[in-house]
C-alpha cells in the first residue's frame, strides 16, 4: 500500500507556511514519522529508531511497476470495457 502526505501552500497564505513545509521535510520530523509508520521517508538523511530500518525496503530493492506499459494497457482495457458494456 502506498502512502503519500501532501503539503500545500495556498497563494494567499502567509510565508510562514513555507516554514512549516521546510520543518516537515527536515530529517528530525521525518525520522519520527518514518519510525512510527515504519515507512521510508523522502529525506535520505533520516535516521530510524532501532529495529525499524531493517523493516523498510531499500529503494534499490523496491519493485517499481512499469507505468508506461500500464498506461498503454489502460486505454485498451477502457475501450474494451466500453465496447462490452456499451452493447
CB 43 within 8 A of CB 27: yes
Task: Note the pLDDT tens digit of each residue in 55-70.
Answer: 988 888 988 889 888 8
pTM of the model: 0.56
Between CA 18 and CA 13 the distance in angstroms is 9
Rounded-to-integer distance, Cα 62 and Cα 10, Å: 33
52 assigned to some structural domain: yes
Q: Is the pLDDT of residue 9 over 80?
A: no
**Number of domains into which the chain is organized:** 1
Position 2 in a domain: no
Neighbours of 78 (CB within 10 A): 10
Per-residue pLDDT for 7 more than 80?
A: no
79 part of a folded domain: no
| Structural domain harbouring 57 | 16-62
pLDDT at position 1 is 45
Is residue 25 in a domain? yes
The whole-angstrom distance between residue 25's C-alpha and the CA centroid of its chain comes to 13
For residue 83, is it within any domain? Answer: no
Question: In this structure, is residue 56 part of a structural domain?
Answer: yes
- Residue 44 included in any domain: yes
Tell me: the pLDDT tens digits for 16-54?
A: 878 888 898 899 999 998 999 888 888 889 999 999 989
Residue 20 forms part of a structural domain: yes
Amino acid at each position: 500500500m502506498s502512502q503519500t502526505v501532501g503539503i500545500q501552500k495556498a497563494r494567499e497564505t502567509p510565508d510562514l507556511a513555507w516554514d512549516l513545509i521546510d520543518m516537515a521535510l527536515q530529517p528530525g520530523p521525518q525520522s519520527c514519522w518514518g519510525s512510527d509508520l515504519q515507512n521510508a521517508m523522502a529525506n535520505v538523511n533520516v535516521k530510524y529508531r532501532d529495529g525499524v530500518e531493517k523493516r523498510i525496503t531499500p529503494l534499490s530493492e523496491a519493485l517499481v511497476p512499469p507505468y508506461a506499459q500500464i498506461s498503454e494497457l489502460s486505454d485498451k482495457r477502457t475501450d474494451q470495457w466500453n465496447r462490452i458494456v456499451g452493447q
